[in-house]
Structure 1
Amino acid sequence: MSDPTLLQRVSKALPWLLLVLAIVAPFALSAYDLNLLARFMAMAILALGIVLIWGHGGILSLGQGVFFGIGGYAIAMHMKMADLPEGELPDFMLWSGQESLPFWWAPFASPTFAIAAILFVPVLVGSLFAWAVFHRRVGGTYFALITQALALAFATLIISRQDVTGGFNGLTDFYGIFGVGLSSPGVPAALYWLTLALLVASYCGVRLLLASRFGMLLRAARDGENRIRFLGYNPTPFKVVAFAIAAMLAGIAGALFTLHAGVVSPALIGVVPSIEMVVWVAIGGRYSLAGAIVGALLVNIARDAVSSAFPELWLYLMGLLFILVVTLLPNGLAGLVASKRA
């Protein structure tokens, strides 16, 4: 049998081990592999939000791709505007016969507005959506289905408005941000360190939140919503705030991913990607922040390796892996540890 004390020590050391590996990575990996790692670290930020709402709030969202997409499209729109000569339209608008720039595109020429949109538009959309649903005490499977429908509607909207969103192809061909070329010496490495810093900050922020009174009441609402209502607490605001924070983390993740990948499209934000995001966390451990990071990294590394060689097998492999983990390790890889740690 495994030594519980050893497992506890491994659990405590895991975040530090991940941080050390991330710090060493730029000196050990090629530019291509480092870019892939940075993309997966961005996705891990989103996974932290899913731990917050699903693991500790009991809120299963199958629509986090919506908020990921909002962040990704916000930074992509800014980069498309920044690269434009004055008075011209983005290339995809010209190809689609668009004659003038939509009014809601113009503010994205400002980097301040773009950053504000990445941070606050997901929070606003997430808050309004969560309040409308939780206020009517909708939860469980019904909530998951509603979020899935939201992801489908958002992806469909993006595809159908090719003249202003780029359609199925999305937005790509970015050359610089904030006046600096994306391929300039030192910029890819700087973006990597920025992603690592935001991942660490997100981890620490969510960890502190879960250790606070807010986290305790969120878990209480998960385990017995009617009980805390009886004790005089309204669980709706706690669930709304948690969902809004998860939406913000997804928006940040989407913006960082777009910077590293150089593209954002409906293929990254629809129903299937949103379900995959939950699978990362289920495999890593929905109660564990470090487990969610490990799950996001491992699944995406495996996806890149397998899908490159056998593209048609990846979805089947992921489904099989999900079934095995849920069956044998219902708490994910982090469930190997004797006590759950957030």
Structure 2
Amino acid sequence: MNFVYERLLGGKRGALAIGILAVLILVILPLALDLFRLNLVGKYLTYAFAAISLVLLWGYGGILSLGQGIFFGLGGYAMAMFLKLEASDPESTKIQTTPGIPDFMDWNQLYELPWFWVPFESFTFTLIAILVVPAVFAFIIGYSMFKRRVGGVYFAIITQVIAVILTVLIVGQQGYTGGINGITDLRTLNGWDIRTDSAKYLLYFLNAILLLGAIMLGKFILTSKFGQLLLAMKDKEDRVRFSGYDVSNFKIFIFCISAVIAAIGGAMFTLQVGFMSPSFVGIVPSIEMVIFAAVGGRMSLIGVVYGTLLVNAGKTTFSETFPELWLFLMGGLFIAVVMFFPNGLAGIWNKYAPKVPFLRAFFTNSEQVETEKTQPKQVASEPTTEGAK
């Protein structure tokens, strides 16, 4: 029980924050919103997976990735491929030239299912692919970069370029990927119609529960020795390396973990919204994910969820009211947060919540949850002269 309380919930403050968030997304929002708006919130929560991945990678690891849309898209496309194959059975596609293949393949004069689509006829394989394919792709990128000590702005630019390349590849290979339109007309999941109202409610709650699970996974990682080393690498990478640790392996590992979390969000997006397109893979969505993390607080796993909800709610409102200005308004919001609230919404919470009487007990000095208290001084210590001898 102590393991759950300390490692998965993060002590008193962590349990309080997770409890408030759980009540909000599992009780208040479903009761207060109609199905259309609740489905929008569900879509926003899928973006929060990518924001959580950036807390681990950028906030604690100090590795800014401008390509998290890559992994979000890989997870989304993997799920979309399975759903599209299920919707393309011979009976449903009998009017096509070649029944039994997705419609966009028939339009592009393909006469059989491509070999890499065939395994996605299995739901089990699809679930494994959602986790494994992004992890392998992240491992290849991370190994190539971190083993050569490529980091900082160079790594951010490289991930951005990879996002552009992947988008161009998806758009250009229309017969295999659906092109600019993406993979659409997704109907059932193992025979279960995902377009019904009841299905949308169930998918929303599944999405919310998985999101809470991702938060607890992040807390487990950050409260472990690996999390302490991650924070130490961010502040004093050379000192950690001189202490005998292979920094590149830690970076590769956290990059792969963040990729898997983002991919789960992409898979849930496909189920929640009913399609997947290259517009969720490229530079713009990747930068938006960074904005979500910055607004919520890049050092807070829970803060970024609120940041994601706030930014996307504002985006929806601005785009409905001022369709030509919403990009400028969102950019202004990001600049304002960086200038006046560098720690995001989480920083505001940490500053003012202790002043609320019934919350004061959760902000005692005995709680070891503050960022500055998690830095492992022993691990990052410099090697002594005696040790060298």
Does the 8 Å contact 1:122/1:244 carry over to 2? yes
Task: Please tell me the root mean square deviation across aligned C-alpha atoms, in Å.
Answer: 1.7
Q: Deviations over 1:85-124 (max 9, x none)?
A: 2452111111122222111111111101111111111111
- Partner residue of 1:79? 83
Q: Larger RCO: Structure 1 or Structure 2 (Cα < 8 Å, ≥ 6 residues apart)?
A: 1
Farther-moved stretch of structure 1 (229-238 vs 136-145): 229-238
Query: Which consecutive residues of structure 1, in runs of 5 or more, have no partner in the other structure?
Result: 1-8
Query: Which consecutive residues of structure 2, in runs of 5 or more, have no partner in the other structure?
Result: 1-11, 91-98, 352-369, 375-389
Farther-moved stretch of structure 1 (279-288 vs 297-306): 297-306
Farther-moved stretch of structure 1 (308-317 vs 134-143): 308-317
Aligned ranges 1:26-41 → 2 under 5 Å:
26-41=30-45
Does the 8 Å contact 2:35/2:197 carry over to 1? no
Give the aligned residue type for 2:190.
Answer: F
Does the 8 Å contact 1:51/1:287 carry over to 2? yes
- Partner residue of 2:287? 275
Does the 8 Å contact 2:108/2:174 carry over to 1? yes
Q: Deviations over 1:142-189 (max 9, x none)?
A: 000000001001111001111110111111111111210112452111
Deviation at 1:10, TM superposition (A): 8.1
- Partner residue of 1:196? 208
- Partner residue of 1:103? 115
Give the aligned residue type for 1:22.
Answer: I
- Partner residue of 2:304? 292
Aligned ranges 1:88-237 → 2 under 5 Å:
88-184=100-196, 186-237=198-249
Give the aligned residue type for 1:39.
Answer: K
- Partner residue of 2:7? none
Q: 1:184 to 1:101 in 2, by over 3 A?
A: same
Q: 1:12 to 1:85 in 2, by over 3 A?
A: closer
Does the 8 Å contact 1:281/1:296 carry over to 2? yes
Does the 8 Å contact 2:74/2:266 carry over to 1? yes
SS of 1:289 mapped into structure 2: coil
Question: Equivalents in 1 of 2:13, 2:321: separation in Å?
Answer: 34
- Partner residue of 2:53? 49
Larger Rg: 2
Given the two structures, how large is their TM-score scaled by the length of structure 2?
A: 0.83
Deviation at 1:11, TM superposition (A): 7.7
Does the 8 Å contact 2:55/2:298 carry over to 1? yes
Given the two structures, how large is their TM-score scaled by the length of structure 1?
A: 0.94
Deviation at 1:237, TM superposition (A): 1.2
Q: Deviations over 1:250-302 (max 9, x none)?
A: 11000101111111111111101101100110011001111111111111111
Farther-moved stretch of structure 1 (42-51 vs 182-191): 182-191
Determine if the alignment matches structure 1 residue 320 to structure 2 residue 320.
Answer: no
Match of 1:309 among 302, 321, 335: 321
Deviation at 1:12, TM superposition (A): 6.5
Q: Deviations over 1:189-216 (max 9, x none)?
A: 1111110110011000101110110000
Does the 8 Å contact 2:114/2:176 carry over to 1? yes
Question: Equivalents in 1 of 2:233, 2:217: separation in Å?
Answer: 21
Determine if the alignment matches structure 1 residue 21 to structure 2 residue 21.
Answer: no
Does the 8 Å contact 1:288/1:340 carry over to 2? no
Matched positions, count: 335
SS of 2:115 mapped into structure 1: coil
Does the 8 Å contact 1:171/1:265 carry over to 2? yes
Deviation at 1:26, TM superposition (A): 2.0
Question: Equivalents in 1 of 2:187, 2:163: separation in Å?
Answer: 29
SS of 1:228 mapped into structure 2: helix
Give the aligned residue type for 1:133.
Answer: M
Question: Equivalents in 2 of 1:268, 1:311: separation in Å?
Answer: 19
Deviation at 1:27, TM superposition (A): 2.5
Identity in percent: 46
Farther-moved stretch of structure 1 (187-196 vs 79-88): 79-88
Does the 8 Å contact 2:71/2:262 carry over to 1? yes
Give the aligned residue type for 2:17.
Answer: L
Give the aligned residue type for 1:21.
Answer: L
SS of 1:232 mapped into structure 2: coil
Does the 8 Å contact 1:334/1:340 carry over to 2? no
Deviation at 1:23, TM superposition (A): 1.6
- Partner residue of 1:5? none
Does the 8 Å contact 2:184/2:274 carry over to 1? yes
